[in-house]
Structure 1
Amino acid sequence: MTKVYLSLGSNIGKRKFYLEEAIRLLNGLPNVNVTKVSSYYETPAWGNTDQNDFLNLCCELETNLQAQDLLNHCQSIEKKLGRVRHEHWGPRTIDIDILLFGDALINEDNLKVPHPYMLERAFVMVPLLDIAPNLSVSGKPISEIIKSLDCSDIQKIDVASVR
């Protein structure tokens, strides 16, 4: 089994529902077992900042799937949950990014692992720290990576208060 870390985000409609449904659908995939889910975090949009705030989380899963097969399943879940790709870094019902796939280094047109922007994104690194406090990326502990990021806009959310 390969240990995989995903980042999920939503900033359209029922954000909590989309995240919960994505986790449920991921866990229902053949040869996939979601083993950990972080707290929920509300974060400002990154890249294209003229849009609603995101609700983000990270999850850990174990799988026997190949990376491309998991990517295809993630994209199918996004489509099932109404994701439409209008613009790069635009608003979305759900976004599922593969951050790490075991210790694999993947550099394909449609998949880059480790995720090329993860070390720059507090909204990824903070929830990842929740579920993998001893994890290192590119030889550096994520607890150290976070110290170089502006985390002031990352707010842990009581999920009961979120729609």
Structure 2
Amino acid sequence: MTEHRVFLCLGANLGDRQASLKEAASRISEKPGIRLVRSGTPLNTEALEVTDQPDFLNQILEIATSLPPHELLDVLLRIETEMGRVRTTDKGPRTIDIDILIYDRVRLHEKGLHLPHHSLFTRPFVRELLEELGEGFLADAFEIS
């Protein structure tokens, strides 16, 4: 079975943010077809688009998975829901947010799933978190020339 190299970005700005990141990483690693390879150091970041909310704690996870992109997304969305994520305000406060940043070198633009994730190019902290893992070059691999 082929394993795909995937980078996820986790974020939380409600409740015990550190505990939420740890719980999300644990739940992700327990799912069949997903193996946690490594996790980066969490980074406190200010809310960027809807700014009248608490700061976020963000973290990058590298996973290996045999799941195709849409199945992986479904698993991650279920984890968000199980952890109390309620989608009321776009870009609003959340107990947990799990984005698929990069799935191998796949480019995909469909409703609900865009690979690579737009935050790879629009949120400077994402590159900073990837650089901490020695993977800052990954964003460059998708740049349009």
TM-score, with normalisation over the residues of structure 1?
0.82
Please state how far the C-alpha of 1:140 moved relative to its aligned partner. Answer: 6.6
Aligned-pair Cα RMSD in Å: 1.5
Q: Secondary structure at the match of 2:87?
A: coil
Q: 1:43 aligns with which of 39, 42, 45?
A: 45
- Which segments of 5 or more consecutive residues in structure 1 lack a partner in the other structure? 142-163
Counterpart of 1:91? 93
- 1:40-92 residue CA offsets vs partner (Å, 9 max, x unmatched): 10010011011000011001000000000000010000001100001110000
Counterpart of 2:122? 120
CA distance in 2, matches of 1:124, 1:5: 11
Please state how far the C-alpha of 1:135 moved relative to its aligned partner. Answer: 3.4
CA distance in 1, matches of 2:100, 2:142: 19
Please state how far the C-alpha of 1:137 moved relative to its aligned partner. Answer: 2.4
- 1:85-144 residue CA offsets vs partner (Å, 9 max, x unmatched): 011100000000000000111111010000023212122111121224363324379xxx
CA distance in 2, matches of 1:48, 1:40: 21
Indicate whether 1:2 and 2:4 are aligned. Answer: yes
Counterpart of 1:73? 75
Contact preservation (8 Å) 1:59, 1:128: no
Contact preservation (8 Å) 1:59, 1:131: no
**Amino acid aligned to 2:113:** L
CA distance in 1, matches of 2:20, 2:57: 10
- 1:5-64 residue CA offsets vs partner (Å, 9 max, x unmatched): 000000000101110000000000101001010001001001101100001100100000
TM-score, with normalisation over the residues of structure 2?
0.92
